[in-house]
Structure 1
Amino acid sequence: MKRVLALLCVVAMFGFILNPSYVDAATVNPKTLLEKKFPRERVTVSKSVDLNGDKKKEHLLITNSGNFYLINSKGVIVLIDTNYYNEEEPTFHLLNISSKENHVAITLDYLPSNTQLFVFKYQDGTLKKKLSIIGDVSINISKTGEIRQAWKNYFPEGGWDTAVAYYKWNSKHDKYVGSGELSR
């Protein structure tokens, strides 16, 4: 009786491992996983990072159609946002806000000098947008996560001066707080 029960357990475990619906996110290529679920999508930019400090990687992917996806450490695919395409490839940046909190920033460069920035916070198994700005002169991100936006402040009579705004994460208010000359 014990042998029969042990044999049934082995067969059940073997069947579970070979079951195609079982996905181990750590061993599956995230690009392959996304393209299998969405056959018309082609991944153009990807990055794998540990966003929540659990020592398991989450995967960030942008496709040729401009869709931005997150695949969490359990293999669940989440559409985060759309319209992430331009002539240059988008760039992922990881902002280390604290030892337990990382934010994801995406920059889209539009030649000759415009840069669009989106910043997301990993929260409740997904990414929530916390900041969206355009720097028509430049955008710089420091190692501490402070964001510097340089933009053109136009004069009514023509011409412009460079205006500078700074954004820093405020965990108490759960948002980025701006200082300096904020764009209108």
Structure 2
Amino acid sequence: MKRILALLCSIAMVGFIFNPSYVDAATVNPKTLLEKKFPRERVTVSKSVDLNGDNKKEHLLITDSGNFYLINSKGVIVLIDTNYYSDEEPTIHILNISTKEKHVAVTLDYLPSNTELLVYKYQNGTLKKKLSVMGDVGINISKTGEIMQLWKSHYPEGGWEIAVAHYKWNSKKDKYVGSGELPR
């Protein structure tokens, strides 16, 4: 009888230790975590990165239904945005703004040449949108996080030329500041 009781206690303790609600978020596969909570979602794009310098990774996920999720380092799943559809697979970029700050940029490509760029800053366990631009001709992102938007400036009589707008993060203003030929 004592052996059976000891065996049952051992099984109960193992079950308690390995219960998913008690597993550290850093050890769980982010795709599995999201798909377990939202069974109809299928992750198509994912990236893991430490956004706030706490040596714990945050997980960025885009699903086939066009939803953009963040799983913060505490394992909390946050829906950031919807309608992330494009002709090509969306791309997640990490912008190194400074040694202590990184931003998340997502590019959505639409054929034949349009690119939409959405840039987010990590704040209080979620992502806040800081910039949204469309490049009719394209978008270029430098390693330092400077953004170049190439767009079509149309002539009144017809035709167009390439115009270039530059965006750089201004930490004092907490926003991206544009220069050059900004779209009207």
TM-score by length of 2: 0.91
Q: Which position in structure 1 is the counterpart of 2:7?
A: none
CA RMSD, Structure 1 to Structure 2 (Å): 1.6
Deviation at 1:159, TM superposition (A): 0.2
**CA distance, structure 1, for counterparts of residue 24 and residue 61 of structure 2:** 18
**CA distance, structure 2, for counterparts of residue 21 and residue 143 of structure 1:** 38
Equivalence map 1:26-41=2 (5 Å): 26-41=26-41
Deviation at 1:13, TM superposition (A): 7.5
Structure 2 residue runs of 5 or longer lacking an equivalent are 1-9
Deviation at 1:16, TM superposition (A): 4.8
Could you tell me which amino acid in structure 2 is paired with residue 128 of structure 1? K
Please list the CA deviations of residues 58-93 of structure 1 after superposition, one character each: whole Å capped at 9, or x if unmatched. 000000100000001111100000010122100010
Please list the CA deviations of residues 112-155 of structure 1 after superposition, one character each: whole Å capped at 9, or x if unmatched. 11000000000011000000000001100011110000100001
Identity of aligned residues (%): 83
**CA distance, structure 2, for counterparts of residue 32 and residue 19 of structure 1:** 15
1:23 and 1:75 in contact (8 A); partners too? no
TM-score by length of 1: 0.91
Equivalence map 1:1-184=2 (5 Å): 16-184=16-184
SS at match of 2:97: strand
**CA distance, structure 2, for counterparts of residue 59 and residue 18 of structure 1:** 22
SS at match of 1:21: helix
Could you tell me which amino acid in structure 2 is paired with residue 67 of structure 1? N
Deviation at 1:12, TM superposition (A): 9.7
Structure 1 residue runs of 5 or longer lacking an equivalent are 1-9
Deviation at 1:24, TM superposition (A): 1.1
**CA distance, structure 2, for counterparts of residue 72 and residue 12 of structure 1:** 30
Q: Which position in structure 2 is the counterpart of 1:3?
A: none
* Count of equivalent residues: 175
**CA distance, structure 2, for counterparts of residue 159 and residue 138 of structure 1:** 18
Most deviating of 16-25 and 112-121: 16-25
Please list the CA deviations of residues 153-172 of structure 1 after superposition, one character each: whole Å capped at 9, or x if unmatched. 00111000111000000000
SS at match of 2:121: strand
Could you tell me which amino acid in structure 2 is paired with residue 24 of structure 1? D
